[in-house]
Structure formats: structure tokens, C-alpha cells
């Protein structure tokens, strides 16, 4: 269903909804048309129509359902990437094992992000979904101002920690929106060359993280698994915080261990990066390297501050290579980052730091 003529993108975020449910399309239409920041240009009932409209209209964002006639969401994804390379795709996913597995596959095929459909059919579930959907559309659709040569960045870098601190004993990583692809690109070149434990917080629901851990391990060439409570950390560990649990580090007689808990969300997230970063700093002191990748919000900022206070090191992904420069930007503008780099350079720098080669 065409709602607006194809036109040059303006300041409003241009969105296409692709869903075979007339009820869902009607609900989305009401929500998006009520927001002055969003221009809903088209409603599509199947994947083939979504590809054709994306090619013609070149929107900023598409909300893409999985189960659709003629061409489902997974089949449409490669076509959509070719039809509108700059368009960002949000997958609408069910909070089920099947939905989680499909979503992880979609992210590996080029989807930018996902949104989990509400489990409850009542008003509260729908309202939370509406709020999250609008936040994601706005975050992903914001037009970035082009970089101006010679203009000073909006942040100041910390001076590197003294070289005598030696090799970090642990690498802790935080990511959110755009994180699955970023983690793959960041870790794949270096993960097999780092002996220390690598601990990751990626904002994801409980159903999703087990599938994502397996997929990430396959992508980077080193087994990754969800962390378990009480696990004694050892060199070579590649662990992902399980969805709906904070992952913390606890000291024990037999070494540093994983502590999982369901305490209150931090920065509206569980798992959140701050609890991991803060407890890693307490456990390893100045022998921690924290890396913050793409993501909405500011999770990781306070924890990065604790890492710095303990004498550890913090580096973040740059704005140009981030899907959303919320989390890394918050750390950088707070003055906690030693370096702000694109992913490829961030990988190389991380490996040098973890090997004790970067002062």
C-alpha cells in the first residue's frame, strides 16, 4: 500500500513496513504516523512487494516480518540489501526458540537489528513494543552530519596507561544495536590469538543468547558459549552473558568466577555492561581491557569509569563504523577512552594491548 510519493530523503525518517497481517500494518501505521519525526512511505503485505518498494523508494528503515507469502523475510533479505544498500532493516521477531534462531540468521544475512514482538496481547505489552520500535527507528534513522576535515572531535582521549602494567588478564566487551555484526568483525581476526578470558555483554533477550553464542563461535572460529553461574574463569574462555541475567565477576578461593543474577536492570538492560565492567575492575584491577562497540544508550559508561579508576584501559568503536554511536560515544565523551577507532583498527589495537605491545 503506497502512502507517500517517492521523493528525496529529507529530515524525517522514511520507513517501510512489511508484514502480511492487516491488523499489524494498521497498528504500525497509527503509531508511526503519530510521530512527527517519521514519514511512513509504504505498507507491504509480502516480501516481493517489499523488495520492489525498497528499490523504488530507497527508505531509511524497513521493519520486516519473517513469515510472509510469496517471499518470506529471510529470502527477501539478500534482495533487499541489493535493492537499497543503505537501508537499515529491523526484523520483527517472536520471543520463541524458532523466532530467535531465525533472527540470528537474519542478522548474519544483513539485518541491522531486531525487535521482539510482545508476548502479552494486552495494552501494556503493546505500549512497550511501540516505545521500543519508535526508539529504534529514530536511533537507526538519524542522519549523521558529514565529518568536517580539521574539526576537533567532541571528545578528549585519555593518556595511555603506563607501560609497566603489563598484559591485561581479561578482555571485557559491550555491544548492543549493530553488535552481532560488529562482534563478528572485531573478534574474527584476533580471538584465537588471545589467551585471556574474553567476556561479552550483548543486549539480547533470554531466548536469543544461546543461539547467538553458537553462531558467533562459528563465525569467529572459536567456540563461544553462554556463561554459567560459578564457572571458574580460565585462559581461552569466550563467554557471552545469558539473556535476562547480569554477568559479574566474583573472587573465590579457586580464582575469579562468573556470578549471574537477576537484580534490577541497569540502564534499562539485563544483561548490562556496567555490572560486568565494574566487577571486572574490582577483580583484576589494572589488568583489564574494556572495549565498547556500537549500541544505543549509554550502558558501559559508568563501568568504563571504574575500569579507568582501577588503572585499566578502555577503547571504543568510532562513530563512522558504528550503527549507533550511543554506547561508545558516551564513553568517549566522558573522557574514559584511550582510543576511538574503526573496527579493523580496533581489532589490531586490542590484540596489541592484550599482548602487552601497546603502551
Q: Per residue, what are the HEC states of 34-74?
A: CCCCEEEEEEECCHHHHHHHHHHHCCCEEEEECCCCCCCHH
Task: Indicate the pLDDT class of residue 312, thresholds 50, 70 and 90.
Answer: very high
- Please, what are the domains in the chain? 13-141 (3.40.50.2300), 163-354 (3.40.50.180)
Angle between the 343-354 and 179-187 helix axes, to the nearest 10 degrees?
50
pLDDT-wise least confident of 66-80, 139-153, 200-214, 221-235 = 139-153
Q: What stretch of H or E contains 89?
A: strand 88-93
Beginning with the edge strand found earlier in the chain, give each strand of the sheet holding 198-202 in spatial order: 225-226, 238-240, 198-202, 170-175, 288-292, 313-317, 339-341
Residues with a catalytic annotation lie at 176, 203, 299
- Alpha carbon distances (Å) from 256 to 201, 235, 259: 18, 11, 10
Is residue 83 pLDDT above 80, yes or no? yes
Is residue 329 pLDDT above 70, yes or no? yes
What is the model's pTM?
0.92
Share of the chain above pLDDT 70, in %: 91
Mean of pLDDT values over 199-221: 96
What rounded mean pLDDT belongs to the chain? 91
The pLDDT of residue 156:
87
Task: Indicate the pLDDT class of residue 132, thresholds 50, 70 and 90.
Answer: very high
Mean of pLDDT values over 89-118: 89
Is residue 273 pLDDT above 70, yes or no? yes
* Backbone φ and ψ of 323, nearest 5°: -65, -45
Share of the chain above pLDDT 90, in %: 78
Is residue 10 pLDDT above 60, yes or no? no
Amino acid at each position: 500500500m503506497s502512502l507517500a510519493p517517492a521523493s528525496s530523503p529529507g529530515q524525517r525518517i522514511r520507513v517501510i513496513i512489511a508484514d502480511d497481517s492487516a491488523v499489524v500494518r494498521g497498528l504500525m501505521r497509527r503509531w508511526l504516523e503519530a510521530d512527527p519525526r517519521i514519514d511512513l512511505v509504504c505498507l507491504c503485505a509480502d516480501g516481493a512487494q517489499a523488495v520492489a518498494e525498497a528499490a523504488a523508494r530507497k527508505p531509511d528503515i524497513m521493519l520486516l516480518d519473517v513469515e510472509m507469502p510469496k517471499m518470506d523475510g529471510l529470502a527477501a533479505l539478500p534482495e533487499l540489501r541489493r535493492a537499497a544498500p543503505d537501508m537499515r532493516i529491523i526484523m520483527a521477531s517472536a520471543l520463541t526458540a524458532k523466532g530467535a534462531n531465525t533472527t540470528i540468521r537474519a542478522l548474519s544475512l544483513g539485518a541491522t537489528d531486531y525487535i521482539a514482538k510482545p508476548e502479552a496481547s494486552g495494552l501494556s505489552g503493546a505500549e512497550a513494543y511501540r516505545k521500543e520500535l519508535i526508539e529504534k527507528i529514530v536511533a537507526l534513522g538519524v542522519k549523521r552530519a558529514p565529518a568536517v576535515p580539521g574539526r576537533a572531535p567532541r571528545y578528549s582521549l585519555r593518556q595511555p596507561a603506563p607501560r609497566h602494567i603489563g598484559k591485561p588478564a581479561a578482555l571485557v566487551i559491550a555491544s548492543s544495536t549493530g553488535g552481532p555484526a560488529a562482534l563478528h568483525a572485531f573478534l574474527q581476526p584476533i580471538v584465537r590469538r588471545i589467551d585471556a578470558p574474553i567476556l561479552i555483554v550483548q543486549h539480547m533477550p533470554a531466548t536469543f543468547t544461546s543461539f547467538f553464542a553458537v553462531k558467533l563461535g562459528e563465525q569467529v572460529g572459536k567456540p563461544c558459549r553462554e556463561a554459567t553461574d560459578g564457572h571458574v574463569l580460565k585462559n581461552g574462555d569466550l563467554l557471552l552473558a545469558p539473556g535476562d541475567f547480569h554477568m559479574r565477576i566474583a573472587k573465590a578461593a579457586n580464582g575469579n568466577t562468573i556470578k549471574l543474577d537477576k537484580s534490577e536492570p541497569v540502564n534499562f538492560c539485563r544483561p548490562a555492561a556496567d555490572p560486568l565492567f565494574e566487577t571486572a575492575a574490582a577483580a583484576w584491577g589494572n589488568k583489564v581491557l574494556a572495549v565498547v562497540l556500537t549500541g544505543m544508550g549509554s550502558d558501559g559508561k559508568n563501568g568504563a569509569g571504574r575500569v579507568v579508576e582501577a588503572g585499566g584501559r578502555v577503547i571504543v568503536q568510532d562513530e563512522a563504523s558504528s550503527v549507533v554511536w550511543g554506547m561508545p560515544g558516551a564513553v568517549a565523551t566522558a573522557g574514559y577512552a584511550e582510543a576511538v577507532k574503526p573496527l579493523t583498527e580496533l581489532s589490531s589495537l586490542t590484540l596489541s594491548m592484550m599482548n602487552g605491545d601497546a603502551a
